[in-house]
Amino acid sequence: MFDTRFQIVIADTEESKQIHYKLRCEIYCMDRTFENVREFEDQMEIDEVDSRSIHFLIREIETGEWIGTFRMVLPDHDRLPIEKHCDLKEEIMVNLPRTSIIEVSRLGIAKRFTQRSEGVNDNPSHLTSLVNSHSAVSNLREVSSGVLRAIWQFSIGKGIENILFFITPALARILLSMHIPLRQAGSPCTHKGKRYPYIIHQEKLRSTIETISSHEGHNFNSLTGYYSYSEFFNNENFCDLNYVTPTS
């Protein structure tokens, strides 16, 4: 179960944001080679959207390592990043107030974790490789359930009604296999590989997560979606929170 193996931590300090950016560099530059690592100072993968984003880290409890990232791009009156790369359905974007939409991006898991836990070969497209075995699918579904719960809890706290995802076909298959009622928001496009835009209303996401929690024997309302780095940095349960440099 997610809560016995992982934690979601919101990066709410400069130190934790640097951990987030460095881990993104590991995932997107070193693991997947989507970006050139030499283009990023201090090996921190940062773009113009980060100034309007909330950053999250995924931590493996057993090892204390940071193994994944995602961010939530806050709404404003400007276009969302996803709109620069693909055409969204007009009936979706026209009918929804801009302030009601948040975009989830930079959702990735470090290859060192997937290789260690699943024995995946050294392949930059590790998420695609990861879905090739039953145990791998189970592992990714588990992480995804915790990420989705954190996304919902953050969204509801900010009064956000609609959540946009810009994800690979492999991750889309995982989420759809979990019966997450994603609605395709536009045609697939090519942006560092094939990507699909999906949207979901937060109430539908809540209902699905509640069902998943019930099947796992949890009371949905008692679950904590995420912790804050600043609050738990000195907590003994969060020892050794520094970014772990991947070994070669």
What is the domain-level CATH number for residue 144?
Answer: 3.40.630.30
Q: Token pair of 129, please?
A: 């490789």
Residue 224: per-residue pLDDT: 79
Q: Is the pLDDT of residue 153 over 70?
A: yes
Residue 41: per-residue pLDDT: 78
Pick the residue with more confidence: 87 or 221? 87
Residue 241: per-residue pLDDT: 45
Number of structural domains (the chain) is 1
Q: Is 29 left (phi over 0), alpha (psi -120 to 50) or beta?
A: alpha
Pick the residue with more confidence: 60 or 131? 60
Residue 39 resides in a domain: yes
Residue 61 resides in a domain: yes
Distance CA 152, CA 156 (A): 6
pLDDT in tens, 25-51: 999 888 887 778 888 878 899 999 999
Q: Is the pLDDT of residue 246 over 70?
A: no
How much of the chain exceeds pLDDT 90, in percent?
A: 44
Residue 77 resides in a domain: yes
Residue 93: per-residue pLDDT: 75
Residue 44: per-residue pLDDT: 93
Q: Token pair of 209, please?
A: 């997560």
C-beta separation of 225 from 7 below 8 A = no
Residue 203 resides in a domain: yes
Q: Token pair of 231, please?
A: 């609050």
Closest-CA residue to 182 (of 166, 160, 202, 198): 198
pLDDT in tens, 71-117: 999 987 777 888 888 888 887 777 888 889 999 999 998 988 877 65
Residue 247 resides in a domain: no
Residue 248 resides in a domain: no
Residue 154 resides in a domain: yes
How much of the chain exceeds pLDDT 70, in percent?
A: 81
- Name residues whose C-beta falls within 8 Å of residue 48's C-beta, 6 or more positions apart in sequence: none
Q: Is the pLDDT of residue 200 over 90?
A: yes
Residue found under tokens 């919101």: 10
Q: Which domain holds residue 69?
A: 2-238
Distance CA 5, CA 61 (A): 5
Q: What angle do CA 158, 8, 46 make, to 5 degrees?
A: 80
Distance CA 52, CA 201 (A): 21
Residue 175 resides in a domain: yes
